[in-house]
Amino acid sequence: MRVNIFEALERTQWKKLSLELKTQVMNQVLKYFVSPLKKISAVSYQQFELDGVKCDTFECLIDGESFVLVPGNQAAILGWESGIQGISRNSWDQNPARMNETYQKIVQSYSLKTAEDWDIFVNESMSPLRKRAIAPMLVQKRSQPVGTTYIGDVDLITGEFSGDLEAFRSFEKMFYGYFKRSQTFEESLRTEVPVEIFEENKFYARLFEKSEKYAVYTHETCDFHHLRKKIDEQLFDLLSEDQWEYAVSGATRKLFRWGNDVEEDDSYYGSQLTKKIQQANVFGLYFSPHLDHWELTNAMYLKLEKLEKLGHPLYDHLPLASYYRSREILAADDPMSPRDFRFRKAILIQNN
């Protein structure tokens, strides 16, 4: 049975297809939309669920990096203007455990004493409400540090590297030097391996969360113009703000990808929420729960945030909202550090 690939990849239609037809469509996507110069491997059918919303889709490796097929939506509702609707009062009607200058400035501007104050602050922290047609796409499963090219992994237990060995050898001694520093036995018992290692214009490495492997990248100084040019040369797209918000939210009308709860604590329900926040979303994509970087979009709007947590449930989680738009302004010619900025590559499936 022949199927129209664009109709089949509309999310409402995609749900109705048999596994056999979905497999046919995925094969067509890989054949006609991924460059023949790229190596495709490890194609697998996957089922994802978050907060009661499900999606059956496919994962694959493109030149060793994980991508997920995200079905499209011709009438996706994005953005937010519902304030704290659906958020429990206890999540916002309290003082933070700590204060800093950023929070004090926000309080001066918004007061943050009443529900109406919080409504205004939340709405002004989000992109505007809108309806958009979102094409289906292959989306990078995890965001990538800016200015980097992935070359492989280092196993922390064995110390072995797997990937592009020639590229790794150019900084191999420097990388392993971070783990051979002289120290006493007592110091070694307290030593924690670094989460990230960065040598400008040489390499960047980051420890996979809850893993014993480093993802290793080569690095070159990069600004926004250079990033867009390089992604284009690699035959990928940089997600637009619309595409990014859809990829996070699935166009569900909830403030966060996991629902509307934000109270993480040591209770059973609090620990279950933490697990939900950390897991892959409905499309199988991972978005960091840590406020330690921004994600870029092709219009230079910054998503997520680099922010100090203050012990206020809603304030600490707000940058993780699906429709959050950072107030930080990025200049197109400013150098960007991989410690601060990440991006997400995609391949759009469009009938041009």
pLDDT digits (tens, 9 = 90+) for 212-263: 899 999 999 999 999 999 999 999 999 999 999 999 999 889 999 999 999 9
Q: Which residues on adjacent β-strands are paired with residue 155?
A: 213
pLDDT for the residue 1: 54
Choose between 157 and 150: higher pLDDT. 150
pLDDT for the residue 112: 96
Report the pLDDT averaged over residues 179-207.
Answer: 78
Whether residue 163 has pLDDT greater than 90: yes
Report the pLDDT averaged over residues 290-315.
Answer: 95
pLDDT for the residue 213: 93
pLDDT for the residue 2: 64
Query: Do the Cβ atoms of 262 and 87 come closer than 8 Å?
Result: yes
Across the chain, mean pLDDT equals: 94
pLDDT digits (tens, 9 = 90+) for 328-345: 988 889 999 999 999 999
pLDDT digits (tens, 9 = 90+) for 10-68: 999 999 999 999 999 999 999 999 999 999 999 999 999 999 999 999 999 999 999 99
In percent, the amount of the chain with pLDDT more than 70 equals: 96
How many other CB atoms sit within 10 Å of the CB of residue 339? 15
pLDDT for the residue 183: 59
Whether residue 188 has pLDDT greater than 60: no
pLDDT for the residue 12: 95
pLDDT for the residue 137: 98
Whether residue 192 has pLDDT greater than 80: no
Report the pLDDT averaged over residues 279-307.
Answer: 95
Q: If we measure between CA atoms, which residue out of 33, 4, 43 comes closest to residue 21?
A: 4
In percent, the amount of the chain with pLDDT more than 90 equals: 87
pLDDT for the residue 189: 47
Which range (83-87, 126-130, 176-180, 348-352) has the least confidence?
A: 176-180
pLDDT digits (tens, 9 = 90+) for 57-100: 999 999 999 999 999 999 999 999 999 999 999 999 999 999 99
Report the pLDDT averaged over residues 107-125.
Answer: 97
Banded model confidence at residue 8, pLDDT cuts 50, 70, 90: very high
Whether residue 182 has pLDDT greater than 80: no
pLDDT for the residue 211: 80
Which range (147-151, 179-183, 212-216, 340-344) has the least confidence?
A: 179-183
